[in-house]
Amino acid sequence: MRPADFHAFLDRFYRLASDSIVAHDGIVDKIVGDEVIGLFFGGISGPHHAAVAVAAAIDLAERAAPAITTSSMSIPIGTAVHTGEAFVGATGLGTTVEDFTALGDVVNITARLASAASAGEVIVSVTAAEAAGMATEQLERRTVEIRGRTEPIKVIVLPAARQKMSPDDTANRSGR
Protein backbone atom coordinates (compact mmCIF):
# COMPACT_ATOMS: atom_id res chain seq x y z
CA MET A 1 0.00 0.00 0.00
CA ARG A 2 1.34 3.43 -0.93
CA PRO A 3 1.90 5.89 1.94
CA ALA A 4 -0.97 8.12 0.76
CA ASP A 5 -3.31 5.12 0.61
CA PHE A 6 -2.23 3.96 4.07
CA HIS A 7 -2.79 7.44 5.45
CA ALA A 8 -6.30 7.49 3.96
CA PHE A 9 -6.95 4.01 5.39
CA LEU A 10 -5.89 5.08 8.90
CA ASP A 11 -7.84 8.31 8.60
CA ARG A 12 -10.98 6.35 7.72
CA PHE A 13 -10.41 4.06 10.74
CA TYR A 14 -9.90 7.04 13.07
CA ARG A 15 -13.09 8.64 11.77
CA LEU A 16 -15.16 5.45 12.12
CA ALA A 17 -13.83 4.79 15.63
CA SER A 18 -14.31 8.38 16.79
CA ASP A 19 -17.84 8.50 15.35
CA SER A 20 -18.78 5.25 17.13
CA ILE A 21 -17.41 6.48 20.45
CA VAL A 22 -19.05 9.91 20.31
CA ALA A 23 -22.37 8.52 19.01
CA HIS A 24 -22.60 6.46 22.22
CA ASP A 25 -21.79 9.33 24.62
CA GLY A 26 -18.13 8.47 25.05
CA ILE A 27 -15.10 10.68 24.61
CA VAL A 28 -12.07 9.99 22.45
CA ASP A 29 -9.17 9.86 24.89
CA LYS A 30 -6.42 9.54 22.33
CA ILE A 31 -5.28 8.11 19.05
CA VAL A 32 -2.06 6.11 19.33
CA GLY A 33 -0.80 4.52 16.13
CA ASP A 34 -3.47 2.04 15.06
CA GLU A 35 -5.48 2.39 18.28
CA VAL A 36 -8.29 4.74 19.25
CA ILE A 37 -9.03 4.85 22.97
CA GLY A 38 -12.53 5.77 24.06
CA LEU A 39 -13.66 6.53 27.60
CA PHE A 40 -17.13 5.85 28.95
CA PHE A 41 -17.87 6.86 32.53
CA GLY A 42 -20.78 8.01 34.65
CA GLY A 43 -20.23 11.77 34.46
CA ILE A 44 -20.17 11.73 30.66
CA SER A 45 -21.83 8.51 29.49
CA GLY A 46 -24.45 8.17 32.22
CA PRO A 47 -25.15 5.42 34.74
CA HIS A 48 -25.16 2.68 32.09
CA HIS A 49 -21.65 3.50 30.84
CA ALA A 50 -20.60 -0.15 30.53
CA ALA A 51 -23.60 -0.91 28.30
CA VAL A 52 -22.96 2.07 26.03
CA ALA A 53 -19.27 1.14 25.79
CA VAL A 54 -20.27 -2.33 24.57
CA ALA A 55 -22.75 -0.77 22.13
CA ALA A 56 -20.00 1.52 20.80
CA ALA A 57 -17.62 -1.42 20.32
CA ILE A 58 -20.25 -3.39 18.41
CA ASP A 59 -21.09 -0.30 16.35
CA LEU A 60 -17.42 0.15 15.43
CA ALA A 61 -17.03 -3.51 14.46
CA GLU A 62 -20.09 -3.24 12.22
CA ARG A 63 -19.02 0.08 10.67
CA ALA A 64 -15.58 -1.36 9.88
CA ALA A 65 -17.03 -4.40 8.09
CA PRO A 66 -16.94 -4.16 4.28
CA ALA A 67 -20.73 -4.07 3.88
CA ILE A 68 -20.82 -0.65 5.56
CA THR A 69 -17.46 0.96 4.80
CA THR A 70 -17.24 3.57 2.07
CA SER A 71 -14.94 1.46 -0.10
CA SER A 72 -14.72 -2.24 -0.80
CA MET A 73 -11.82 -2.59 1.65
CA SER A 74 -12.83 -3.53 5.17
CA ILE A 75 -10.94 -2.36 8.24
CA PRO A 76 -10.00 -5.58 10.05
CA ILE A 77 -10.18 -4.53 13.69
CA GLY A 78 -10.82 -6.19 17.01
CA THR A 79 -12.18 -4.21 19.93
CA ALA A 80 -12.39 -4.71 23.67
CA VAL A 81 -14.36 -3.39 26.62
CA HIS A 82 -13.40 -3.61 30.28
CA THR A 83 -14.58 -1.64 33.28
CA GLY A 84 -13.25 -0.73 36.68
CA GLU A 85 -11.75 2.11 38.66
CA ALA A 86 -9.17 4.33 36.98
CA PHE A 87 -7.73 7.77 37.42
CA VAL A 88 -9.62 9.98 34.96
CA GLY A 89 -8.57 13.59 34.80
CA ALA A 90 -6.00 16.16 33.90
CA THR A 91 -2.31 15.36 34.05
CA GLY A 92 0.65 17.68 33.85
CA LEU A 93 3.34 19.38 35.85
CA GLY A 94 1.98 21.52 38.69
CA THR A 95 -0.96 23.57 37.50
CA THR A 96 -0.23 23.04 33.81
CA VAL A 97 -2.72 20.71 32.15
CA GLU A 98 -0.93 18.71 29.49
CA ASP A 99 -3.46 15.94 28.96
CA PHE A 100 -6.87 14.68 29.98
CA THR A 101 -6.74 10.90 30.14
CA ALA A 102 -7.46 7.69 32.02
CA LEU A 103 -4.68 5.81 33.78
CA GLY A 104 -4.51 2.58 35.71
CA ASP A 105 -4.68 -1.19 35.60
CA VAL A 106 -8.13 -1.24 34.00
CA VAL A 107 -6.82 0.84 31.07
CA ASN A 108 -3.85 -1.48 30.56
CA ILE A 109 -6.05 -4.58 30.70
CA THR A 110 -8.41 -3.11 28.10
CA ALA A 111 -5.54 -2.40 25.71
CA ARG A 112 -4.24 -5.94 26.08
CA LEU A 113 -7.71 -7.41 25.54
CA ALA A 114 -8.03 -5.34 22.36
CA SER A 115 -4.74 -6.81 21.16
CA ALA A 116 -6.16 -10.29 21.73
CA ALA A 117 -9.31 -9.64 19.69
CA SER A 118 -9.44 -11.01 16.15
CA ALA A 119 -10.81 -8.98 13.27
CA GLY A 120 -14.51 -8.38 13.71
CA GLU A 121 -14.53 -9.55 17.33
CA VAL A 122 -15.60 -7.57 20.32
CA ILE A 123 -14.06 -8.93 23.52
CA VAL A 124 -15.90 -7.90 26.69
CA SER A 125 -14.50 -8.77 30.10
CA VAL A 126 -16.94 -10.67 32.29
CA THR A 127 -16.70 -7.71 34.69
CA ALA A 128 -17.87 -5.31 31.97
CA ALA A 129 -20.53 -7.74 30.70
CA GLU A 130 -22.00 -8.00 34.19
CA ALA A 131 -21.88 -4.21 34.64
CA ALA A 132 -23.63 -3.83 31.27
CA GLY A 133 -26.35 -6.32 32.24
CA MET A 134 -25.61 -8.49 29.22
CA ALA A 135 -27.24 -11.88 28.74
CA THR A 136 -24.14 -14.00 28.10
CA GLU A 137 -25.32 -17.59 28.50
CA GLN A 138 -25.21 -18.37 24.77
CA LEU A 139 -22.00 -16.46 24.01
CA GLU A 140 -18.47 -17.77 23.58
CA ARG A 141 -16.28 -17.51 26.67
CA ARG A 142 -12.49 -17.39 26.81
CA THR A 143 -9.73 -16.58 29.21
CA VAL A 144 -7.03 -14.18 28.09
CA GLU A 145 -3.55 -14.27 29.56
CA ILE A 146 -2.42 -10.74 30.33
CA ARG A 147 1.28 -9.97 30.54
CA GLY A 148 2.21 -8.87 34.05
CA ARG A 149 -0.83 -10.49 35.71
CA THR A 150 -0.94 -13.83 37.49
CA GLU A 151 -4.62 -14.49 36.78
CA PRO A 152 -6.08 -14.52 33.25
CA ILE A 153 -9.04 -12.28 32.45
CA LYS A 154 -12.35 -14.03 31.73
CA VAL A 155 -14.06 -12.61 28.65
CA ILE A 156 -17.15 -12.93 26.51
CA VAL A 157 -16.58 -12.88 22.73
CA LEU A 158 -19.12 -11.14 20.55
CA PRO A 159 -18.68 -12.09 16.90
CA ALA A 160 -20.10 -8.66 15.87
CA ALA A 161 -18.81 -8.25 12.32
CA ARG A 162 -16.51 -11.29 12.08
CA GLN A 163 -18.88 -13.05 9.70
CA LYS A 164 -18.69 -10.05 7.32
CA MET A 165 -14.87 -10.09 7.17
CA SER A 166 -13.00 -11.95 4.47
CA PRO A 167 -10.57 -14.72 5.55
CA ASP A 168 -7.65 -12.41 4.69
CA ASP A 169 -9.05 -9.69 6.95
CA THR A 170 -9.47 -11.97 9.95
CA ALA A 171 -5.92 -13.24 9.59
CA ASN A 172 -4.39 -9.77 9.19
CA ARG A 173 -5.78 -7.33 11.75
CA SER A 174 -4.49 -3.78 11.54
CA GLY A 175 -6.09 -1.92 14.45
CA ARG A 176 -8.16 -2.07 17.62
Question: Which pLDDT does position 161 carry in this prediction?
Answer: 53
Q: At residue 25, does pLDDT exceed 90?
A: yes
Domain ranges of the chain: 3-171
Q: At residue 27, does pLDDT exceed 50?
A: yes
Q: At residue 175, does pLDDT exceed 60?
A: no
Q: At residue 2, does pLDDT exceed 50?
A: yes
**Sign of the dihedral through C-alpha 60, 16, 176, 167:** positive
Q: At residue 54, does pLDDT exceed 90?
A: yes
Question: Which pLDDT does position 160 carry in this prediction?
Answer: 64
Average pLDDT over every residue of 30-42: 90
Nearest to 49 by CA among 28, 24, 31, 17: 24
Give residue 42's pLDDT band: very low, low, confident or very high (50, 70, 90).
confident
pLDDT in tens, 71-101: 556 788 889 999 999 988 888 888 888 888 8
Q: At residue 170, does pLDDT exceed 50?
A: no
Question: Which pLDDT does position 74 carry in this prediction?
Answer: 75
C-alpha dist (Å) from residue 66 to 3, 16, 70, 160: 21, 13, 8, 13
What does the alpha-carbon distance between residue 114 and residue 112 come to, in Å, rounded to a whole number?
A: 5
Q: Of 32 and 143, which is predicted with more confidence?
A: 143
Average pLDDT over the chain, rounded to an integer: 85
CATH tag for 3-171 (out of 3.30.70.1230, 3.40.50.300, 3.10.180.10, 3.20.190.10): 3.30.70.1230
pLDDT in tens, 99-137: 888 899 999 999 999 999 988 899 999 999 999 999 888
Question: Which pLDDT does position 94 carry in this prediction?
Answer: 85
Q: At residue 162, does pLDDT exceed 80?
A: no
